[in-house]
């Protein structure tokens, strides 16, 4: 199927058994909301509500998630800020949910161009409290479909909100996509913790208020242990021409596509450059990076921001290797030629052309 990115998210969500979508209009992701309105209206068990605010939308997701059903909301940067209250509560109450952020230039109202300025917000929890959310970063239409399916699986498996971090460019771009078979929501395994009325079982409580400090500490450690497990189990990268690379570009999403083009150009000039594209931004694929750093001396982090993922790369490598950075914030889309030049400069400045 040839579909634009925002429609890919939506179609993939419906096929993942999501029958509940709540959203509020914001550019550049309205096509997603509109697709869901249409798709869910044609399904007997579909529920679409255009909410009065981002806050209301994420709290409707909370309600559906409490009832054990798959639910999704989506927005763009300023709207995602509003959803942070709900994301903190989802995390505290260990409720699955999928939230798609089509990032735009910021801070503030910013603009509607593609940007990657929300990396910190997404990977550091974003709202208040000691928590993390899984953050997935598709780089193509196919990955938008695959990672949306994965997002629902992860959300249910770990009882955690999952954020898909894309941008306006990916959401507008049309690419051919193969979708996995649709899941009938009724075929999903029952969740033993849901609220559906205390029939033939003790009543249940889903809450985040834990006044007793010892119990609150234990809850935080419980979440922490879960996050540790997730870090071990799901971190994921995509590698491109890294086998012989002397310089590896690290980029995600749209930036990874631009980097790929740049690498093809510099490869033609004989430069040994590869790409590592994280698919999970949290957990950050630290161990892949560490393994690569055994042979690669130079890394170039390329982001459409002033340098946010850069910090995770620095934290992972702990000063062992040279880390270079190139970024353009504010909705500027660098060209592959521009990045090729950056790569070229670094490559020769660090003397990577000389054989070891």
Sign (positive or negative) of CA dihedral 121, 234, 182, 238: positive
Sign (positive or negative) of CA dihedral 108, 103, 234, 316: negative
Decide: is 254 part of the binding site for another protein (CB under 8 A).
no
- Rounded to a whole number of angstroms, the minimum distance from the CB of residue 14 to another protein is 16
Decide: is 356 part of the binding site for another protein (CB under 8 A).
no
Cβ proximity of 22 and 37 under 8 Å? no
Site residues for another protein, 86-105, by CB under 8 A, read: 86, 89, 93
Task: Round the CA-based radius of gyration of the chain to a whole number and report it.
Answer: 21
Nearer to another protein, 24 or 282 (CB): 24
Decide: is 188 part of the binding site for another protein (CB under 8 A).
no
Residue of 9, 22, 302, 326 that binds another protein (CB under 8 A): 22
Q: How many residues bind another protein (CB under 8 A)?
A: 39
Decide: is 63 part of the binding site for another protein (CB under 8 A).
yes
Instruction: Assign 4 to helix, strand or coil.
Output: strand
Nearer to another protein, 207 or 294 (CB): 207
Decide: is 190 part of the binding site for another protein (CB under 8 A).
no
Beta bridge partners of residue 273, listed in sequence order: 247
Structure token digits, residue 274:
């590869």
Decide: is 186 part of the binding site for another protein (CB under 8 A).
no
- Rounded to a whole number of angstroms, the minimum distance from the CB of residue 69 to another protein is 5
Task: Report how far apart, in Å, the C-alpha atoms of 153 and of each of 96, 162, 180, 225 are.
Answer: 9, 10, 13, 19
Site residues for another protein, 207-226, by CB under 8 A, read: 207-209
Residue with tokens 């044609």: 42
Would you give the distance in Å from CA 82 to the centre of its chain? 17
- Rounded to a whole number of angstroms, the minimum distance from the CB of residue 43 to another protein is 13
Nearer to another protein, 2 or 209 (CB): 209
Listed in sequence order, the residues at least 6 apart from 108 whose beta carbon sits closer than 8 Å to its beta carbon are 78
Residue 104: DSSP 8-state: B
- Rounded to a whole number of angstroms, the minimum distance from the CB of residue 277 to another protein is 35
- Rounded to a whole number of angstroms, the minimum distance from the CB of residue 71 to another protein is 7
Rounded distance between C-alpha atoms, residue 7 and residue 15, angstroms: 12
- Rounded to a whole number of angstroms, the minimum distance from the CB of residue 23 to another protein is 13
- Rounded to a whole number of angstroms, the minimum distance from the CB of residue 31 to another protein is 23
Rounded distance between C-alpha atoms, residue 227 and residue 234, angstroms: 11
Decide: is 65 part of the binding site for another protein (CB under 8 A).
yes
Residue of 8, 14, 16, 62 that binds another protein (CB under 8 A): 62
Decide: is 69 part of the binding site for another protein (CB under 8 A).
yes
Nearer to another protein, 71 or 135 (CB): 71
- What is 216-265 written as a DSSP string? HHHHHHHHHHHHHHHHHHH--EEEES-TT-SEEEE--HHHHHHHHHHHHH
Listed in sequence order, the residues at least 6 apart from 32 whose beta carbon sits closer than 8 Å to its beta carbon are 6, 7, 9, 10, 23, 74, 100, 102, 171
Decide: is 51 part of the binding site for another protein (CB under 8 A).
yes
Cβ proximity of 114 and 254 under 8 Å? yes
Residue of 27, 38, 53, 345 that binds another protein (CB under 8 A): 53
Beta bridge partners of residue 324, listed in sequence order: 300
Decide: is 16 part of the binding site for another protein (CB under 8 A).
no
Nearer to another protein, 37 or 55 (CB): 55
List residues binding another protein (CB under 8 A).
20, 22, 47, 49, 51-53, 55-57, 59-69, 71, 85-86, 89, 93, 195-200, 203-209
């Amino acid at each position: 199927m040839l579909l634009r990115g925002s429609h890919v998210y939506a179609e993939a969500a419906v096929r993942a058994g999501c029958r509940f979508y709540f959203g509020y209009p914001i550019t550049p992701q309205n096509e997603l909301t509109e697709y869901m309105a249409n798709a869910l209206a044609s399904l007997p068990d579909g529920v679409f509500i255009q909410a009065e605010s981002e806050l209301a939308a994420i709290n409707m997701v909370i309600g559906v998630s409490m009832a054990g059903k798959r639910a999704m909301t989506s927005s763009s940067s300023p709207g995602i800020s509003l959803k942070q209250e709900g994301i903190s509560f989802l995390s505290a109450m260990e409720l699955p949910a999928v939230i798609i952020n089509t990032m735009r230039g910021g801070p503030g109202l910013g603009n509607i161009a593609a940007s990657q300025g929300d990396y910190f917000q997404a990977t550091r929890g974003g709202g208040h409290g000691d928590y993390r959310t899984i953050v997935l970063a598709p780089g193509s239409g196919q990955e938008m479909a695959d990672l949306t399916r994965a997002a629902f699986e992860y959300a249910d498996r770990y009882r955690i909100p999952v954020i898909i971090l894309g941008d306006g460019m990916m959401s507008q771009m049309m690419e051919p996509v193969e979708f996995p078979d649709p899941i009938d929501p009724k075929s999903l395994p029952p969740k033993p913790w849901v609220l559906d009325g205390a029939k033939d079982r003790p009543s249940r409580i889903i809450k985040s208020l834990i006044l007793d400090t010892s119990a609150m500490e234990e809850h935080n450690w419980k979440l922490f242990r879960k996050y540790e497990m997730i870090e071990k189990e799901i971190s994921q990268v995509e590698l491109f021409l890294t086998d012989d690379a002397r310089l590896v570009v690290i980029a995600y999403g749209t930036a990874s596509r631009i980097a790929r083009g740049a690498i093809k150009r510099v490869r033609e000039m004989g430069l040994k450059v590869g790409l590592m594209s994280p698919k999970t931004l949290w957990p950050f694929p630290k161990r892949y990076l560490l393994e690569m750093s055994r042979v690669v001396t130079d890394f170039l982090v390329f982001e459409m921001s002033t340098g946010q993922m850069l910090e995770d790369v620095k934290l992972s490598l702990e000063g062992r290797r040279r880390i270079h950075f190139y970024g353009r914030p504010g909705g500027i889309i660098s060209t592959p030629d521009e990045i090729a030049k950056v790569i070229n400069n670094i490559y020769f400045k660090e003397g990577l052309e000389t054989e070891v």
